[in-house]
Amino acid sequence: MQLDGGRQYFATDKFSNLPANVKNHELFCGFLMTEHSKTIAILVPGPLNEQALSRIDTQFTLVKTQDLVTSVVPRDLAQRIRGIAAIIPVNAAMMDAFPSLEIIAHFGVGYDSVDVRHAAEAGIMVTNTPGVLTEDVADLALGLLLNAIRELPRAENWLRSGHWVAKGPYPLTKMTLRGRRVGIFGLGRVGLAVAHRVEALGLPVSYCNRNAVPDAPYPYYTNLLELAENVDTLISVVPGGVATAKAINADVLRALGPNGVFINIGRGSSVDQEALIEALKSGIIAAAGLDVYADEPNVPQALIDLPNVTLLPHVGSATEYTRGAMADLCVDNLISWFSSGRPITAVPETAHVLPR
C-alpha cells in the first residue's frame, strides 16, 4: 500500500514506543522507514517466502544468497549487514561473520535451529512468528487424528483403486474416537487450540508441560510417562531442542497401549523414531499420524512402508493465508526493530536485548 509521494508503509498495528503525539503510527513508521531504511542491509541466506522477500526489498537493502560461506563474505558487505531474515539454521559462526548484526528475524514459530544462546550473549535480537499459524496447525492435528483412527487415506485409496466396485465396501475400522482419552504434550498456543478442538469432539483432555498453564481446565501431569499411562491418544506439540530430544521413547509408547494413537505436529526430534517404528510394527501402539520427522525431508522407508501411519510432508502451516501472515510478521519484526527499537515477537531468550 502507498502513501502520498509513493512512500510505502506496513500494515501491522502491534507497535509501541512511538511518540505520544503520533496519532497514525503507520504513517509515522512509513515516513521513518522510507527516509532511513534503505541504508539498512538485510541478509536472506537461502530460500524465503516471496511475500517476505518483496517487502524486505521494498523497505531495506536486500542481500540475497543461496549458498552462504561465511569465511568468504567480503569484509565491506559483512560490515553492512544489520539484520538476517531466514528459515534456514543460523549458527554462531554465521552471527559472528557479521559484526554489525542486530537482529535475526526467524520465519517460523519453532526456532531451535537458531543458536539463541549465542545470540543473547552477543546482544543480537531473535524474533519468530508465533500466533499467526496456530489455527492451521491445530486443524492439521485434528486431521491427522481422524486419519489415523478412521483410516481415511486408506479408505480413499480403496475407492480410487476400484476396490469398492470389485470387492465391496471398505472393511470396518477397528478404532473409533468414542471413549478416547487425549493427552497433549506441550500446552502452548497450538496445544491449547488443539485441546479446544478435541473438547469439541466430546473427548477428555489432559496435558504435560514444563509448568502448569494458569487457568487451563485440564488435568496436569509433570511427567510425560505418567500422562501416557493415563491416556490412549498422545498429541505432541512441543518444540525441538535438548529439553525435548527423544522425550517420546519406547516406554512412553508402551504406556499408551495396543489401542494407542500417537500424533506429532511439533518436532521430529522429540521422538525416538526407531522406537516409534518398532511400536507400530509390533502392535505396541495401534496407529500414528506424523507431520514432522527426525531428519527432514528424509523419511525412513521403514516408516513409509507401514500401513498404520499417516504421513504428511511438514505442512502444518502450509496454507497461503498462514504463510502470508508469517511473512508479514517476520518483516514487521525487522521494521519495528529498526523504527522503534522494539520487535513485535522477541523470543524469550533475547527479550532483554536493546538496540545498539
Question: Is 267 one of the annotated active-site residues of the chain?
Answer: yes
Spatial strand order of the sheet with 125-127 comes to: 61-65, 41-45, 81-86, 103-106, 125-127
Predicted pLDDT of residue 13: 37
Give the mean model confidence (pLDDT) for residues 290-311: 97
Please tell me the distance from the alpha carbon of residue 40 to that of residue 286, in angstroms, as a whole number: 54
Sign of the torsion angle spanned by Cα atoms 131, 132, 136, 139:
positive
Sheet with 287-290: list strands edge to edge. 220-221, 205-208, 182-185, 233-236, 261-264, 287-290, 309-311
Residues 180-236 pLDDT 10s: 999 999 999 999 999 999 999 999 999 999 999 999 999 999 999 999 999 999 999
Peptide bond into 297 cis (omega under 30): yes
296 is an active site residue: yes
Percent of the chain with pLDDT over 90: 85
Identified catalytic residue from 314, 342, 352, 356: 314
Q: Which domains does the chain have, with CATH numbers?
A: 4-131+320-350 (3.40.50.720), 134-311 (3.40.50.720)
What is the per-residue pLDDT for 311?
98
Can you tell me the distance from the alpha carbon of 302 to that of 280, in angstroms, rounded to the nearest whole number?
Answer: 10
According to DSSP, the β-strands at 233-236 and 261-264 are parallel
Residue 4, pLDDT above cutoff 60 = no
Give the gyration radius of the chain's Cα atoms: 23
Residue written as grid cell 543480537? 124
Q: Which of 7, 296, 352, 356 is catalytic?
A: 296
Asked if 151 and 173 count as a contact pair (C-beta separation under 8 A), the reply is yes
Specify whether the CB–CB gap between 133 and 317 falls below 8 A.
Answer: yes
Say if residue 45 is exposed, middle or buried (CB neighbours under 10 Å; 0-12, 13-18, 19+): buried
**pLDDT tens digits for range 102-138:** 999 999 999 999 999 999 999 999 999 999 999 999 9
Q: Which residue among 55, 82, 189, 267 is the active-site one? A: 267
Widest pairwise Cα distance in the chain: 75
Q: Which of 54-68, 253-267, 283-297, 335-349 has the lowest mean pLDDT?
A: 54-68
